[in-house]
Amino acid sequence: MTTFTPLAMAGNSTSNGAFNPTRLQLLLLSVSGNSTSSGAVTLTTSSVAGAFDDFGVTPWIPGSEYTDPALSHVVNSTVRAGGSDPVNQWVRLSITASAPARYPAQGGKLYSRAAYAGVRVSSDAMPAGSTQQVAYAQIEKTPGTGGVDINRDRPGINLLDIEQASYEGRCLYTPDLTAIPTGASYTRSSESASCGLYSGKYTYNTPPANTYQTVQGWKTYQTARAQRATYANLQFDAPPGVAVGLGPGQSTFTLLPRAGAYARVTAGTFVVAEVSISIAAFSASQTGAVRLLEYDASYNLLKSTDGPYATLTGGNTWQRFQLQTTIGASTVWAVVVPAVKTSAPVNAITFRVDEHRLFSPSTVSQAAVGTSPARPWQPPRQLLIRLSPTRINYCTNPSFTNNTNGLSAVVPVGAATPQISVYTGSNSLDGASALFSLAPSLLSVYTSAGTPGWQGLASGESGVPFVSGLKPTTTYTLSAYTAVTAGTVPITLWVYDGRAWIRGTTSAPRAAGTAPVWTRLAVTFTTSGDFPGPALVRIGQSTRDIVYYYGPIAPGSDQAVWQQTKSPANQGAWSPTTIYSNITPDVVTYNGANWAAILPSGPRTNASTPQHNFLVDRVLVEPGSTPGAYFDGNMPSLDFTWEGTPGNSRSLYYRGRSVNQYRLDQSIQRALPLGAQYQIIYAPPS
């Protein structure tokens, strides 16, 4: 294992040249040293206070009855060139030592092999005013020994299981009724949580001082309940003629374990207990702490220890409270609970609890080592864990919260200049939508040769990907919500699969004078074998539809436009140069029959079309042949996140992210060597 610990030590020696840097509890074995003046630089290992040291537990004192079984102060390396160290030059020092399986410590107590090593750099005859620098520390198993590391539990493992530590499955704690006989309750709640979805909720209301008389005044409990006079609020709704007073209140609030909350511990073990507490209302009189309850093998309470009390900040802010102690000699079971106190008795209080933890540092055994020189320094190794999300929205601007990046407005040559903008008006779906707007244009633009066949919003025109990261030969579904706000022509969805444009569903035409209606459109496609990754998308109106709804269509040729009727004609004979409306509707005569306009018909090809405006929102692209429920990184849950810039990157969904990360952290700490670093990355595999 290679562990890099940034370390810099500089000190002025006394007149006799002694140099005594601060002892640090570090994983170090080899360092580079730089001396700016004469004198020898020596590297040795040192024992760490508290008898935790892989390379010797007892202080090394010549003549002491406590020997140094690891020979850590005997094996050392001294840099000396011609009687003195080189000046202003980095020199490598290294030593090799082995740790025994067991050894005596101060006071004769027997320790197993410990987890930490200390390194001391000392100087001999160092002149006053000079400095030393130390960097690039490294410790590793000596190569070529053939030893095998023994896998043991590492420090930092929570001794409580997931149900004892959180409230994701059930509630294993109950109010301590020895101190508060009545008026307190403790339940599992989803209102607020520090980790996961649930926490514990403690509620206390002082019962009335004369509960019996109050209930007696209502004659029966059923009558009291009918009057909404519950046990906790009788003082606010007493029967006529009954004066209700409050009890004395309470000032200490804590919990006791139910069956299943007890964690087995080892007597004499140093432990760290933690708990998280939050409270809504701030009061300087409210303080919190963690309480460790110790029990014998028969579950009899032996000891209750509180950690340091600190003021609860209020505002539902989660605070972590910690206690460091040593498990008693007769203790077999331990429980971690919160403790909340007030400087004076109160009649009501509510607070929440989460993340019960009990850590027990343990030891790490290493293989036997031999003697060999230190290898070149290596940067510290770090475990990178990239978590694949449950779902990915491949659209990089799905809800247009910030801008319209990725989309451009496109129309046929000769049409009016289109506009694309972020719309935040009353017709918006989620507060912001993309708006395409186009002033009336000549209908001949849409019937001329070479017209692109559509108008609207398109990706790939600005160079900013709108849909990115798609894989070849994979089936995806693209969906989007659209609403026509001006005009009649429906909206259609297209996507390019690497070979051809695939047309998706089309919205219904908007009847003139009606309010906009949001419609979800979708298109399923399979990418080609050489698909580049970014997808090309079109959201808009086909020129065929534009001509269909605004061109001259003779009665009898299309039942979607004209319907035969017995109503009298109000517009005379049909003419291809006249604009007909479906609002009245207009009725014409044609080929001996009367016809009513169902959709707008006309004008002729050299006239203008109406205004074209439509909105787009909630764009979703994900694998599969059917559109799933829409999501993006702004969804109100910690399970949803953005891959990069909020609002302008792909969206990721991790089901149960909070509680699963907590479990993953516990598993990683149990599997990695002591001192190893790791990082959890929430991003899809590249």
Instruction: Provide the percentage of residues in the chain whose pLDDT is more than 90.
Output: 35
Residue-level pLDDT at 359:
77
The residue behind tokens 């719309």 is 423
Q: First and final CA of the chain: distance in angstroms?
A: 28
Residue-level pLDDT at 51:
29
Is 643 among the domain residues? no
Residue-level pLDDT at 282:
87
The residue behind tokens 């509630």 is 171
Q: Note the pLDDT tens digit of each residue in 107-121.
A: 444 444 445 555 556
Q: Note the pLDDT tens digit of each residue in 451-483.
A: 668 899 999 877 789 999 999 999 999 999 999
Lowest mean pLDDT among 84-88, 328-332, 590-594: 84-88
Residue-level pLDDT at 414:
81
Q: Which two tokens stand for residue 272?
A: 């760290």
Indicate if 133 and 193 belong to the same structural domain. Answer: no
Lowest mean pLDDT among 9-18, 96-105, 167-176, 640-649: 9-18
Indicate if 345 and 437 belong to the same structural domain. Answer: no
pTM: 0.48
The residue behind tokens 């849909």 is 467
Which has the higher per-residue pLDDT, 662 or 202?
Answer: 202
Task: Strand 519-526: give its sheet, edge to edge.
Answer: 419-423, 433-438, 612-623, 475-486, 519-526
Indicate if 407 and 544 belong to the same structural domain. Answer: yes
Phi-psi group of 432: left, alpha or beta (phi > 0 → left; psi -120 to 50 → alpha; rest → beta): beta
Is 678 among the domain residues? no
pLDDT surpasses 70 at 22: no
State the pLDDT confidence band at 679, using cuts at 50, 70 and 90: confident
User: What is the residue range of 504's domain?
Assistant: 398-548+610-634
CATH label of the domain that carries residue 175: 2.60.120.260
State the pLDDT confidence band at 71, using cuts at 50, 70 and 90: very low
Residue-level pLDDT at 79:
47
Residue type, 655: R
Residues 30-48 have a mean pLDDT of 43
Residues 575-602 have a mean pLDDT of 83
State the pLDDT confidence band at 92, using cuts at 50, 70 and 90: low
How many independent structural domains does the chain possess? 3
pLDDT surpasses 80 at 19: no
Indicate if 200 and 146 belong to the same structural domain. Answer: no
Q: Note the pLDDT tens digit of each residue in 480-518.
A: 999 999 888 899 999 999 999 999 999 988 877 788 999
Residue-level pLDDT at 183:
78
Q: Whole-angstrom Cα distance, residue 475 to residue 390?
A: 17
Is 75 among the domain residues? yes
Residues 370-383 have a mean pLDDT of 57
Indicate if 375 and 355 belong to the same structural domain. Answer: no
How high is the mean pLDDT of the chain? 74
Is 218 among the domain residues? no
Residues 541-568 have a mean pLDDT of 84
What ranges make up the beta strands (E) of 307-460?
Answer: 310-311, 319-326, 333-346, 348-359, 382-387, 391-393, 407-410, 419-423, 433-438, 454-459
Indicate if 308 and 440 belong to the same structural domain. Answer: no
Is 595 among the domain residues? no
State the pLDDT confidence band at 148, using cuts at 50, 70 and 90: very low
Is 674 among the domain residues? no
Q: Distance between alpha carbon 329 and the CA centroid of its chain, in Å?
A: 41
In sequence order, what DSSP letters do the residues of 116-128 get, joined into one string? -BEEEEEEESPPT
What is the DSSP-derived secondary structure letter of residue 239? P
Indicate if 414 and 484 belong to the same structural domain. Answer: yes
Q: Of the candidates 380, 415, 449, which is a domain's last residue?
A: 380
Indicate if 128 and 264 belong to the same structural domain. Answer: no
